[in-house]
């Protein structure tokens, strides 16, 4: 049973970093319903794990790790599998307010992101959120040098893909 103080601390952290939930769920699920399901599943996993968060890393780094692992597992599942709903207090689910509307550029970026494999997708999300290479390495469990190498290759691929998509949209 969670204490009111622990629950309040969790809600505060989620409110502060809720955009991460939007970005990850939008990047790993195609439909609005699946995005909402994924955001809820991430929130549940974060809550289940929160009591074990030991502060050795930043909350945001820990949150990314839990959220990305949940999203990757979610994306790998067959959509024909039955999903089990875990009951959670309505108050916790209310910590995830409506997602803000996207611009055309954001929609294009998310479309490109969904074409990527899970690791490059996670890498790009972390990079676009302004994380340093060391923070990205900590979340993904790879070296900072590996982050730099993978990002360099990914940027080149994305430049080509983005340019082709923009031309096709005109």
What pLDDT, on a 0 to 100 scale, did the predictor assign at position 76?
A: 77
Judged by average pLDDT, the poorest of 23-27, 114-118, 148-152 is: 114-118
Q: In the chain, what percentage of residues exceed pLDDT 90?
A: 32
**Segment 27-38, tens digit of pLDDT:** 888 888 888 999
What pLDDT, on a 0 to 100 scale, did the predictor assign at position 169?
A: 52
**Segment 84-103, tens digit of pLDDT:** 445 555 555 555 555 666 67
Whole-structure pTM value: 0.63
SS (H, E, C) the chain: CCCHHHHHHHHHHHHHCHHHHHHHHHHHCCCHHHHHHHHHHHHHHHHHHHCCCCCCCCHHHHHHHHHHHHHHHHHHCCCCCCCCCCCCCHHHHCCCCCCCCCCHHHHHHHHHHHHCCHHHHHHHHHHHCCCCHHHHHHHHCCCHHHHHHHHHHHHHHHHHHHHHHHHHHC
What pLDDT, on a 0 to 100 scale, did the predictor assign at position 113?
A: 80
């Amino acid at each position: 049973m969670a204490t009111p103080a622990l629950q309040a601390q969790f809600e505060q952290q989620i409110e502060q970093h809720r955009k991460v939930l939007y970005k990850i769920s939008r990047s790993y699920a195609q439909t609005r319903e699946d995005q909402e399901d994924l955001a809820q599943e991430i929130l549940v996993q974060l809550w289940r794990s929160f009591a074990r968060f030991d502060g050795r890393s930043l909350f945001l780094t820990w949150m990314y790790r839990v959220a990305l692992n949940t999203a990757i597992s979610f994306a790998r599942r067959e959509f024909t599998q039955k999903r089990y709903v875990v009951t959670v207090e309505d108050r916790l689910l209310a910590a995830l307010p409506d997602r803000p509307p996207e611009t055309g550029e954001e929609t294009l970026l998310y479309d490109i992101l969904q074409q990527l494999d899970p690791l490059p997708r996670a890498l790009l999300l972390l990079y676009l959120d302004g994380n340093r290479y060391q923070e990205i390495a900590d979340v993904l469990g790879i070296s900072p040098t590996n982050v730099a190498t993978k990002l360099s290759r990914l940027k080149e691929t994305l430049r080509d893909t983005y340019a082709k998509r923009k031309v096709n949209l005109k």
